[in-house]
Amino acid sequence: MKRILIAVSALIGIVSFNGVFADDEKMHMGSHHHEMSVIDTRTSLAVSPEMKQHQLSNMREHVVAIKSIVGLMSENKFEEASKIAHAKLGLTPEMEAMCGMFNNEQFKTLGLAFHKSGDDLGNVLQTKDVNASLRALNKTMQYCVECHATYRQ
Ligand code: HEC
């Protein structure tokens, strides 16, 4: 009887330990990310250590550009928003060179298409059409989403 009690309490212990662990994991992962696994299954670009920081700071500038464009649109400053789209998201020689540094053809193609969409956005913003501009912005941001879902450094 005593043995059975010990076995049962040990089992309960294991079960509740698992429960705690699962809660803990959920907290770390964010409970809305049910599909997220601990393993990163995205394709690695094998970015060199020197390139890593360069790429990330470039990326942070992309977020700033999107934020500026949205803010300027809300103030009806379409000309300025258009300039930022061309200069920061468009296919400038600098961005073309940056994309060309990666050893992955599909990534390059995606990167170039993204920057072309940045130029398209710049052109649409010049029309001062809010809905058309939002559609173009949505298209550009779809590339952010798609690339991040597929690749990692
Ligand atoms: C062609 C691919 C590609 C496109 C398009 C792209 N990114 Fe990225 N981005 C990356 C990669 C690769 C990383 C590194 C991710 C990793 O290793 O986890 C990254 C990282 C980032 C980071 C993290 C920066 C940091 O300091 O950690 C931000 C923010 C970001 N991107 C914003 C954007 C935004 C905003 C857009 C669209 C306007 C965008 N990116 C478009 C490939 C892309």
List, for residues 71-111, the tens digit of each pLDDT value. Answer: 999 999 999 999 999 999 999 999 999 999 999 999 999 99
CA 82/CA 68 separation, integer angstroms: 10
- Report the Cα 82 to chain-centroid distance in Å: 22
- 41 CA distance to ligand 1 middle (Å): 16
How many Å apart are CA 133 and CA 127, to the nearest integer?
A: 8
13 pLDDT higher than 90: no
Contact 152, 45 (CB under 8 A): yes
Report the separation in Å between the CA atom of 44 and the middle of ligand 1, taken as the mean of its atom positions: 13
pLDDT at 34 over 70: no
Query: Mean pLDDT across the stretch 20-30?
Result: 46
Mean pLDDT of 131-153: 98
Give, using CA atoms, the residue closest to atom 33 of ligand 1: 59
- In sequence order, which residues have a C-beta less than 8 Å from that of residue 130 and are 6 or more positions away? 73
pLDDT of residue 22: 46
Query: In terms of pLDDT, which residue wins out, 32 or 43?
Result: 43
Higher pLDDT, 22 or 70: 70
Q: Give the pLDDT score at 14.
A: 46
Q: Is the pLDDT of residue 18 over 50?
A: no
